[in-house]
Amino acid sequence: MRLLDLQYEFMPSNKKKYPLLVFDNHTFAKKGRRLWYCSKNVKLACKAQVRMDEGGRIVYYNSAHNHDPPRFHKKKDGSYVRL
């Protein structure tokens, strides 16, 4: 499967004005127009990142996470609960 075919979604963030990107069971914070860094980038120095093209398709994924994915549950109404 090509990266362009992979699905992602957005989750509201309590701390930032932009939502978090949820991809490959990990969360990413926006760091530019098309660049997303792992949300654990600062706390754990995680180097994982996602880049998107202008159409919102993923064109690059560095999956070098140095931690387990965060645990959360998506409710029927679309909201998330951290476990």
Range of the domain at 21: 3-82
Three-state secondary structure call for residue 57: coil
| Segment 6-64, tens digit of pLDDT | 789 888 877 777 889 999 989 999 998 999 999 998 889 999 999 999 988 899 999 99
CATH for 74: 2.20.25.240
pTM above 0.85, yes or no: no
Report yes or no: 55 and 45 within 8 Å, Cβ to Cβ.
no
If one counts the domains in the chain, the total is: 1
